[in-house]
Chain A
Amino acid sequence: MEAAHAPTHGHGHDDHAHKPSGIMRWVKSTNHKDIGTMYLWFSFTMFLVGGVMALIIRSELFQPCLQIVRPEFFNSMTTYHGLIMVFGAIMPAFVGFANWLIPMQIGAPDMAFPRMNNLSFWLLPPAALLLIAAQFVPGGGAGVGWTLYAPLTTQAGPSMDLTIFAIHILGMSSIMGSINIITTILNMRAPGMTLMRMPMFCWTWLITAYLLVAVMPVLAGAVTMTLTDRHFGTHFFNAAGGGDPVLYQHIFWFFGHPEVYIIAIPAFGVISQVIPAFSRKPLFGYASMVYATASIAILSFMVWAHHMYTAGMPVEAQLYFMYATVLIAVPTGVKVFNWVATMWKGSLTFETPMLFALGFLFLFTLGGFTGLVLSIVPVDVQLHDTYYVVAHFHYVMVAGALFSAFAGIYFWLPKWTGRMYNETLGKWHFWLSLVFFNVTFFVQHFLGLAGMPRRIPDYALQFTEFNMISTIGAFGFGLSQLLFLYIVIKTITSGEKAAERQWEGADSLEWTHLPSPAPWHSFEKPPVLK
C-alpha cells in the first residue's frame, strides 16, 4: 500500500506543473490520462480502417457474381477486418478506458508502472502498421480468416509472417497492460476502498486482466507453432509429419473463447456504471454481479471446443462442451436481470450514454440468445460457419462491446475534457447506429438459417435480397460513425463547460472528488472515504 500513501512529491523528478510540450508530450508520456487518450484515438483510427474493410466486403456482397474484388483479396479483407477490429479497435478501446478510469475510481495518482504503460501503448502502432503492411507484400494479405486456421496458413505468402509478428507484439502489449492494471488495483486503492467497494468497472477490469495474462501466451504459442511449421520444418499441424490440423483449433480457441469475454467483461463494467447513474439508484446485486463476472471468466476456459463442433470429436466431448456452454447462460442471465432490476423503480432519464447502455442491454441479450441456440450441438451443426454465426457475434461485439464503448465515451467525455457533448447530436448518433446496425445484421440470421456459408465472395441467387439489405445497412452504420467523430471533436474544441458532477446519479470518485476536466495527477493525496 506504499504507493497509495505517496506524498505529493512522490514522483520526484516528474514535475507536475510542466509536462513536455508538443509531440514529445505524447511520445514520452507516463501519464495515465494521456496514455488513455492515445489508446482511445488509436482504437478509433483502427475502427475506421477495419470499417473500410467491412464496407469493401459488403460492397462485393451487394449483388451476386464477382464485381469489385478478386476472391483472394476478399478473403484478405475478411481476415484483416476481424484481426483489426478485435486487436486494434475493441481491445485498445477498453484499455483506454482502464487507463483513464482505474486510478480515478480507486483514488490513486496514476497507474502502478507508468513507463511500462507508455511501452504497452507504443507497441500498438508498429503492430498496426505490420497488419496494414501485410496487404502490400507480394501475394497480398493472407486470406485465411481471423482465426488463422492451419494448414491454410502454411500456404499463405509473406503477409502471414507479418501478421504473426504483429500478434506477438499485440500480445506483449496486452500482457504488460494487464500486469499494470492488476498491480494498480491490488496495491494502489485509497484507504477504505476495499475490493468489495470498488466500482464495478474496476472489478471487471481486474478479472479481464487475469484472463489476458492467462491466454495471450497461448495465442502467441499457437502462432509461433504456425511460424515454425511454415519455415523451420516442424509439423505441429501437418498430419503427414505426425501433427494434427485440429490441434491448432484447440489451442486457438483455448485463447479465443476467453478472448470473447476479454472484450465483453469490460463492456459489462461500463454498463454497470452507466445504468445506475441514469436510474439514480445503486446497482442491484453488486456482490452477485462480482461473482457472476468471476464465474463467467472461469467458465470461459472450459468451453472452447464449442467453436469446433463440426471439426470432429467424440460424442462425449460434444456433450460435455454443450452442457458447459449452456451453463454460461446462468451467470450471464444474472447480470442482465441485475441491470433490469437496477432500472426498476428508479428515476430514469435517457441521455445518450443511457441510450447506448439500453441498446447494449437489448441487443447484447439478443446476441446471447442466439449464442444459446448455437450452443446446442445438433442445431450448431446446421448453423456453424454460416451467416447465423456472423450475425450472432456481431450482436455481441458491435451492439455489445462497441455500443458499451460509445456509452462510456459519452458518459466520461465531460470528465475527461471538461466539456459537454451536444445531446441532440449524440441522440442522433445513437438512433442511426441502432437502426442501421439492425438493418445490417438482423437479416444475416435469415441468410445463415437458409444456408449461406460465411467467408464467400459470391453467393447463390436466393441470398440476394437479404445481402442487399445488409449492405445498405452497413453503409448507413459506417457513415453514422463519422457523426460520432464530429461530435467528439466539437466537444473538445467548443463544447459547453461541464460540471464537476455532470450526472447527478453518478457516485464514483471521479465524479464526487475531482473537478472536470480531471487534474493531471488524479489523486495526489488519497481521498477520504466515508
Chain B
Amino acid sequence: MGNKGFKKWAAASVLFFWSIAAWAEYKLNLQTPQTLLGEKIYDLHTIITVICVVIFIGVFGFMFYAIFKHRKSVGHKAATFHENTAVEVAWTLVPAIILIAMAVPATSTLITMRDTAEPDLTIKATGYQWKWGYDYLKGEGEGISFYSTLSTPRAQIDGTDVAGRKANPHYLLETDNHVVVPVGKKVRILTTAADVIHAWYVPALAVKQDAVPGFIRDTWFKAEKPGIYRGQCAELCGKEHGFMPIVVEVMEPAQYTAWVGAQQKKVAAAKVDPNKTWTPEELKAHGEKVYAQNCVACHQATGMGVPGAFPALSGSKLVTGPVADQIKLVLNGKQGTAMNAFKHLSDVDLAGVITYTRNSWNNKVGDAVAPADIKSARN
C-alpha cells in the first residue's frame, strides 16, 4: 500500500469512527428507566433481544454458509434428503425450552407490574379530547384537581415560528400543569376517559395504560429520582391525538409538601364567590381563555371551524339563536360527532365561553349568560 493509499484509508476510517461517534447521540434503546420495575423491564427486553439475535445469527449463519458453499456456480451437486426425524424433533423441542426460559422472568415481572395494592398516593387521570384531567384522590394532596393541556405555542406547531420551535427542547412534550408526585412513594394512577379511548404513557416511568370511557383501569410507579419525565397519549383519540402530552414532575418529599400547600391555597383563592355578579365584559374575557383551552382546536381562533369537519361558530344559527339551545348543546354535546359534553367545566367557565362565542367574530347577539343560567340548566 502506497503512502497515498494509506492516507486515503486513514481518512476513511476516521470518517467511519466519527460517524459511529455521531450515532451515539441517536437514541437506540428504551429510555433510561427511573423506577425499579422499569429497570426490570429494561433488562427483560435486553435479555430477550439478545437471545433473539443469537438465534438469528445461528440460523442465518447456516443459510449464508449454504448460499456460499452450496451454490451451483461452485459446482455443488444437490443432495436428495428431504427429512430427518431426529433433527425435526430437536428443532421443535429446543425452541420450546428456550421460550419457557423466557417466560419465567416475564411472568415474575408481569406479576410485580400488576400489583397496584397499598399505594401511598392515588391519582385519577381522565383523558379528554384533547387534554388530561387529574384528581388527587387519596394520600398527601387529596382534593387537588386540575387540567393539564399542551403548552407549546400554536405558532411553533403550525410552522409560523420556526425559530421558537428549534429553540424549544420540550416541543410537544410540555404542559401548563405538571402532575407532581413525591419521590420514592408508590403512586397508583387510575385511568378513565370522558369521550374516547386514550392511553396514559410515560416511557421513563415504564407505565402505559389505556383510559377507557366508562371504566376505570389502574397502573402504578414509584420514581427513584426527582426529575421531570415526559410522555404522550398513546391511543389514537382523534384529530389532536399527537398534542396531549403528559408531564410528571417527581419532587423530594419536603418540596412536594410545599407544592401541595401552594396548590390548596391556589384552590381557595381561585374559588369564585358564587354570589359575585359578573359584568358581560368580565365574562367575555374569562370566556376567551376557556375557549382557547377547550374549543380552539376544532372551531379555530377565528371561529370559522374547519369546513366539512368542524362547524363554524361565527355566524352559526345555534350560537346566535336562543341561548337555552346553546347551553344545552355545550352541556350535553352532540351524539355522533366530535362535539363532546362539557359538563365537567364550571358554571362560570361555561357562562364565560358561551358569552364569548355569542359576542365575538361576526356574532353580535349582545346578551350575557350568567353562571346561574348554567346552574339551572344543569338540573
Binding site for B on A (CB under 8 A): 64-67, 70-72, 75, 138-140, 143-145, 149, 151-152, 154-155, 157, 230-231, 238-240, 244-246, 279-288, 310-312, 315, 318-319, 322-323, 326-327, 329-330, 333-334, 336-337, 340-350, 358, 361-362, 365-366, 369-370, 372-373, 376-379, 381-382, 384-386, 446, 449-451, 453, 455-462, 465-466
Contact = CB atoms under 8 A, between A and B. Distances in A.
Contacts of B308: 138-140
Contacts of B233: 453
A282 B78 CA distance: 10
A230 B95 CA distance: 47
Contact of A71 (B156, B201, B203, B242): B242
A330 B49 CA distance: 17
B262 to A, nearest CB: 29
Interface of B: 26-31, 40-41, 44-45, 48-49, 52-53, 55-56, 59-60, 62-63, 66-67, 70-73, 76-84, 87-88, 91-92, 95-96, 99, 102-103, 106-107, 109-111, 113-114, 156-159, 162, 165, 168-173, 195-197, 199, 201, 203, 206-210, 212-215, 217, 230-243, 306, 308-309, 335-338
B109 A155 contact: no
Contacts of B156: 65
Nearest to B41: A378
A340 B294 CA distance: 58
A376 B41 CA distance: 10
A378 B113 contact: yes
Contacts of B106: 322, 376-379
Contacts, number: 291
Contact of B171 (A280, A349, A376, A460): A460
A286 B73 CA distance: 27
Given A362-B60, A460-B172, A465-B26, A382 B217 contact: no
A365 B102 contact: no
Given A347-B70, A347-B78, A72 B44 contact: no
B376 to A, nearest CB: 24
Q: Would you call the interface of chain B mostly helix, strand, loop, or mixed?
A: mixed
Given A138-B308, A347-B77, A67 B238 contact: no
In order of increasing CB-CB distance, the 3 nearest A-B pairs are A239-B214, A456-B242, A451-B203
B231 to A, nearest CB: 7
A66 B236 contact: no
A110 to B, nearest CB: 31
A67 B86 CA distance: 60
B31 A451 contact: yes
B214 to A, nearest CB: 2
6 contacts: A322-B106, A322-B110, A329-B95, A446-B28, A455-B241, A461-B165
Contact of B215 (A312, A343, A466): A312
B19 to A, nearest CB: 13
Given A311-B210, A337-B59, A458-B157, A71 B239 contact: yes
Q: Would you call the interface of chain A mostly helix, strand, loop, or mixed?
A: helix
Contacts of B71: 347-350
A349 B72 contact: yes
Contacts of A346: 66, 70, 76, 78-79
B80 A365 contact: no
A376 B45 CA distance: 9
Nearest to B214: A239
Nearest to B201: A453
B92 A455 contact: no
B62 A348 contact: no
A330 B53 CA distance: 17
B171 A310 contact: no
A67 B156 CA distance: 11
A64 to B, nearest CB: 6
B212 A143 contact: no
Contacts of A75: 236, 238-239, 241
A315 B214 contact: no
A279 B169 CA distance: 55
B234 to A, nearest CB: 4
B159 A376 contact: no
A466 B165 CA distance: 18
Nearest to B106: A376
Contacts of A144: 236
B235 A385 contact: yes
A231 B53 CA distance: 50
Given A327-B99, A343-B63, A461-B171, A286 B72 contact: no
Contacts of A449: 27-30
Contacts of B29: 446, 449-450
Contacts of B235: 149, 385
